[in-house]
Structure 1
Amino acid sequence: MTSLRHLCMATAGIAALSATLPADARSLETAYGTVEVADNPARVVTLYTNALDTSLTAGVKPLGAVATRGGDGVARYFGEQADGIEIVGTPRETNIEAVAALAPDVILASPQLPEAQYELLSRIAPTVVPDVEPYQMESWENEARVYGKALGRSDTIDDAIAEIDAKAEALSERQNGSPTASLIRWMPQGAIVMADNIFASTLLTKSGFTVEDGDTVKEGRPHSDPLSLENLSRIDNDWLFLATLNAEGDEAYEAARQSPAFERLDVVQRDRVVSVDGQLWTSATGPMAAKAILDDIASAMDAAQ
């Protein structure tokens, strides 16, 4: 990856690559002001999982994308749809030169993109940063609608969101009451509890669960600090959705599940621990991810009947 100082030097020669917008451009209100984007852009680069997810949902395959947390490429749930997409960075750092080399018509970035990064990217192509507050029930939907508008595919994205809402409502109607649930990611240092307002947790809520973090997550944070095995009782709810990101997490979880502290949890005794893909459940966001998570929830509910 390239340091910010080197990026600033590199972009001095990148500005010449910026395309001139055609007359048929659309205006989008973004976190950094009004941005003019060509109608139906063909050359797209995404720097955020929801942007990639929304693009593929809309039928637009990006030229480049950043890797998903927990891997060297994009998330596994994309499958063959993401074949051939060039990796141009990580969630933490973008390779500006790699983005510029793709000569994009538009760049779709995260709502949390720093202004300094925005200034560099916007010299390459119109850069869309949704003005959306993170960690709210509708955050991912609002982001997807902004990306859909930038791509000229608003109707397709609205239809996808409506389908997801209907599927979640159907799952909620199947519930007997409002069972409690927690979502955790098992790391080598221990289990971290995901906040009740992150993407996957909001889908659990829409599916009729009451998501609880056992007061382990500080306000404004996406997850807790690692818990000791003895403190797992704080999230001993009706259901436990348990994710890992990599081999180290898998190994740590396999060791922990042999411990008496884990085995005596009521949720373990009742066989309501559901293993899920950590890239999907704790690192992804977007319409395709929502559908995949709801499919996992439906399968878990089916198995419990």
Structure 2
Amino acid sequence: MSTTPTFIFKLFIIIQLLLGVHSVQAATVEHDAGTLTLTKTPTRIVVLAFSFADALAVAGVSPVGIADDGDKNRVIKSVRDRIGDWQSVGSRYQPSIEAIAALKPDLIIADTGRHQSIYADLTRIAPTLLLKNRGITYQENLEVMKKIAKAVDKIERVANRLAEHKTIMQHLKQQMKTAATFQFAVVTDKGMWLHSPASYAGSVIAELGLSSPLSADIDNAYLQTSFEQLLKTNPDWLFVGKYTQDTVLDKWQKSPLWKLLSVAKSKQLIEVSPSLWSLASGMLAAEQMAIELASYAKR
């Protein structure tokens, strides 16, 4: 009986070690600033782009902070439902260093295109992954998601969900056998920007086997477009995300030339969520976009 306390103590230590093995798991991740080695699995993560929040949602991890432009509805609902609440750390363009530091993160995931200039400041707060977001394509995003999965020790979970995602996308692709051309654009009172096949939305359209009226050789993801250029591009379907209530489309639609567009003749001008089609750029977003496209393309 005298050995019982010793046995219980040893058993307690073993249990603690088994429970703690996850938290001390080291991960080395290649990113746009070199190599980042994490000595433990992060639990307080701040993300500075919506696609990174999407990746964490897929991984089953909730960030403590998001650069959400001060508007939580800019994060698509399917992501919000999975990650719960978070603290805003300002805009994606100029996130608040003070707000990030106040959350005491143990990992920050930043956008190479927007945050390279503040990378040193971020690393003084917490280990920071610098990954592509702005101008990312569908396939590039899947690779970024795998890196995030490695950083948060969710490789197997994300791999399983990715396999499911590919099945979903293939199933939807098979429903969309059409020669029609599909184009997404964002529009404001200042102008229209077509998202080329080099953009996220454009590459999702291509992934689904749908044609773009724009050349696949275009390098620029976003093309500012005049009414005359839209007439020349002349897509069969035009999906638009409005960032302002009044847009240049209001003026263009009053022109006698508007009726020359295929979308005018066939009434195939479709308004969609800019948060989903332009801002989100993640796997969950791609599935929602594909579902929306299928609802039109299989008609």
TM-score by length of 2: 0.82
Cα distance in 2 between the residues matched to 1:225 and 1:97: 35
Q: Which residue of 2 aligns with 1:268?
A: 264
Comparing 230-239 and 285-294, the one that deviates more:
230-239
Greater fraction helix: 2
Shift of 1:126: 0.9
Query: Which residue is 1:244 aligned to?
Result: 242
* Counterpart check, 1:295 vs 2:294: no
SS of corresponding position for 1:91: coil
- The equivalent residue for 1:222 is 221
SS at match of 1:243: strand
Aligned letter for 1:278? Answer: P
> What's the Cα RMSD here?
2.6
SS at the partner of 1:269? Answer: helix
**Structure 1 pair 165/259, CA: closer, same or farther in 2 (3 Å)?**
farther
How many Å separate the matches in 1 of 2:271 and 2:163?
Answer: 27
Alignment correspondent of 1:5: none
User: How far apart, in 2, do the equivalents of 1:234 and 1:227 lie?
Assistant: 10
Q: Deviations over 1:44-70 (max 9, x none)?
A: 1101111111112211111100125xx
Residue 18 of structure 2 aligns with which residue? none
User: What are the residue-to-residue correspondences of 1:1-305 with 2, within 5 Å?
Assistant: 23-67=24-68, 72-73=71-72, 74-77=74-77, 78-81=79-82, 83-130=84-131, 135-213=136-214, 219-228=218-227, 230-249=228-247, 252-302=248-298, 305=299
Closer, same or farther: CA 89–119 of 1 in aligned 2, 3 Å: same
1:110-150 Cα shifts (integer Å, max 9, x gaps): 23254441111111111112379954451111111111111
Matched residues, number: 275
Deviation for aligned residue 1:262: 2.4
SS at match of 2:162: helix
Q: Secondary structure at the match of 2:38?
A: strand
**Counterpart Cα distance in 1 of 2:64 and 2:48:** 11
Distance of aligned partners of 1:125 and 1:79 in 2 relative to their CA distance in 1, 3 Å threshold:
closer
Tell me the percent identity: 23
2:59 partner amino acid = A
Provide structure 1 residue ranges, at least 5 long, that are not aligned to the other structure: 1-21
Unaligned runs of 5+ in 2: 1-22
State the Cα deviation string for residues 244-291 of structure 1 (Å, max 9, x = none): 123244xx4345434333233122212322221112111221122112
Q: Contact 2:24–2:41 (CA<8 Å) still a contact in 1?
A: no
**CA distance 1:211–1:123, change in 2 (3 Å):** same
Tell me the CA shift for residue 83 of structure 1.
4.8
Contact kept? 1:168, 1:203, Cα under 8 Å: no
TM-score for the superposition, normalised by structure 1? 0.80
Query: Which stretches of structure 1, 4 residues or more, deviate above 6 A after TM superposition?
Result: none
